[in-house]
Amino acid sequence: MRAFVVTKYKGPLQEADVPEPTVGEHDVLVRVEAAGLNPLDEKIRAGEFKQILPYQLPLILGNDVAGTVITVGTAVRGLKPGDEVYARPDQDRIGTFAERIAVAEGDLALKPASISMEEAGSLPLAALTAWQALVERGKVRPGQKVLIHAGAGGVGSIAIQLATHLGASVATTASGSNADFVRALGADTVIDYRTQDFEQLLTGYDLVLDSLGGETLEKSLRVLKPGGKAIGITGPPDPAFAREAGLNPLLRLAVTGLSRKIRKQAKKLGVTYEFLFMRASGDQLRQITTLIDQGAMRPVVGKVFPFDQTPHALQSLSQGGIRGKAVIANS
């Protein structure tokens, strides 16, 4: 089976022949038709998460998949060969930059009928991130004010639509050239991050979804109203994440130190900060499928690369300029 693998951290993606996936009794073997490209893939390649995600090398990257079921394990009841599905595989079983992948049934959902394989391949990680931030943790309600950074990006473009569907008033940061694009997605207020300072223009927000970190995250705390919440998907990780991830005591201490400054700032302002490392969920994807097929949300695919250009496609993420998601197609 062909796949693109990382043989050492910070090393290039290399095409290789790898063993066929092992299909357990609760697993589904999927022919990969499309796979979304995510900054997370590049961070894993660069070794940024090797302490908290101790992957064994060589490693097949890829955190999004849309494809067709080939075979199912003996205990699988909800899917059958020929079904079109999509998923974000569990973090311990990534590897969608390949011709085939075995995914746990519980992480899979039927692909939305109204969209293409490439569009479905762009969705799982970004849509689950938005869902877990806005619905599960943020509990966004009608009339609330939500700030979503990088609104033209993969997570941002979905999160704007979801927050709008939930009845929130949405502000976002984007370049001036993307202002009309993010307004079409549902943004009420657009801040041109190149010429405007969102901290000077926004106040009284209930929730911020931050994908940038650093100074942007610190400023985001200051646009929240008392009791508001900032959810970061770039970091720094917090003690709650360390507990949920089952990190050893030494790593828990290190993680606590990484986020101490931002948590202290949040407490002083009367707001909270949480780190979100999204998890796989077929159940949540099924709810997202309903919204997609009802027309409440739509995937945004900025560019499609052929499978054999996967290394180039991953490198292109750092250059920016792609609206929504980039996807590789395995045709």
Per-residue confidence (pLDDT) for residue 109, from 0 to 100: 98
Longest C-alpha distance within the chain, in Å? 58
Structural domain includes residue 301: yes
Per-residue confidence (pLDDT) for residue 54, from 0 to 100: 81
Mean pLDDT for 79-92 is 97
Question: Is the same domain home to 191 and 221?
Answer: yes
Report how far apart, in Å, the C-alpha atoms of 75 and of each of 58, 100, 188, 269, 301 are.
30, 20, 47, 51, 35
Structural domain includes residue 129: no
CA distance 255 to 258: 5
Select the more confidently predicted residue: 135 or 252: 135
Examine the pLDDT at 321 and tell me if it is beyond 90: no
Per-residue confidence (pLDDT) for residue 212, from 0 to 100: 95
Question: Is the same domain home to 22 and 90?
Answer: yes
Domain span holding position 116? 2-123+280-329
Question: Is the same domain home to 53 and 146?
Answer: no
Q: Give the pLDDT band (50/70/90) at residue 22.
A: very high
Structural domain includes residue 131: no
Q: Give the pLDDT band (50/70/90) at residue 317.
A: confident
- Residue 108: its H or E element: strand 108-110
Per-residue confidence (pLDDT) for residue 189, from 0 to 100: 98
Question: Is the same domain home to 16 and 78?
Answer: yes
Question: Is the same domain home to 253 and 320?
Answer: no
Give bridge partners of residue 303 from the DSSP assignment.
326
Question: Is the same domain home to 269 and 300?
Answer: no
Question: Is the same domain home to 33 and 69?
Answer: yes
Question: Is the same domain home to 284 and 270?
Answer: no
Structural domain includes residue 195: yes
Structural domain includes residue 166: yes
Contacts of 246 (CB under 8 A, 6+ apart): none
The C-alpha R_g of the chain, in whole angstroms, comes to: 19
High-pLDDT (> 90) share of the chain, %: 89
Mean pLDDT for 156-164 is 98
Structural domain includes residue 317: yes
CA distance 122 to 209: 19
Structural domain includes residue 133: no
Examine the pLDDT at 124 and tell me if it is beyond 80: yes
Q: Mind listing the pLDDT tens digit for each residue in 176-188?
A: 999 999 999 999 9
Report how far apart, in Å, the C-alpha atoms of 294 and of each of 113, 114, 125, 166 are.
10, 9, 20, 14
For the domain that residue 173 is a member of, what is the CATH number?
A: 3.40.50.720
Note the pTM of the prediction, 2 decimals.
0.96
Q: Mind listing the pLDDT tens digit for each residue in 220-247?
A: 999 999 999 999 999 899 999 888 888 8
Mean pLDDT for 159-171 is 98
CA distance 59 to 149: 31
Q: Mind listing the pLDDT tens digit for each residue in 87-121?
A: 999 999 999 999 999 999 999 999 999 999 999 99
For the domain that residue 96 is a member of, what is the CATH number?
A: 3.90.180.10
Question: Is the same domain home to 64 and 154?
Answer: no
Per-residue confidence (pLDDT) for residue 287, from 0 to 100: 98
Show which of 260, 275, 290 is a domain's final residue. 275
Question: Is the same domain home to 142 and 262?
Answer: yes
Q: Give the pLDDT band (50/70/90) at residue 211.
A: very high
First to last CA, the chain: 14
Show which of 275, 291, 308 is a domain's final residue. 275
Per-residue confidence (pLDDT) for residue 320, from 0 to 100: 79
Per-residue confidence (pLDDT) for residue 310, from 0 to 100: 97
Examine the pLDDT at 32 and tell me if it is beyond 80: yes
Per-residue confidence (pLDDT) for residue 169, from 0 to 100: 98
Per-residue confidence (pLDDT) for residue 49, from 0 to 100: 82
Mean pLDDT for 11-20 is 95
Question: Is the same domain home to 161 and 259?
Answer: yes
Number of domains in the chain: 2
Q: Mind listing the pLDDT tens digit for each residue in 284-305?
A: 999 999 999 999 999 999 999 9
Question: Is the same domain home to 163 and 257?
Answer: yes
Structural domain includes residue 208: yes
DSSP class of residue 132 equals I
Say how many residues make up the chain. Answer: 331
Show which of 275, 291, 306 is a domain's final residue. 275
Q: Give the pLDDT band (50/70/90) at residue 72.
A: very high
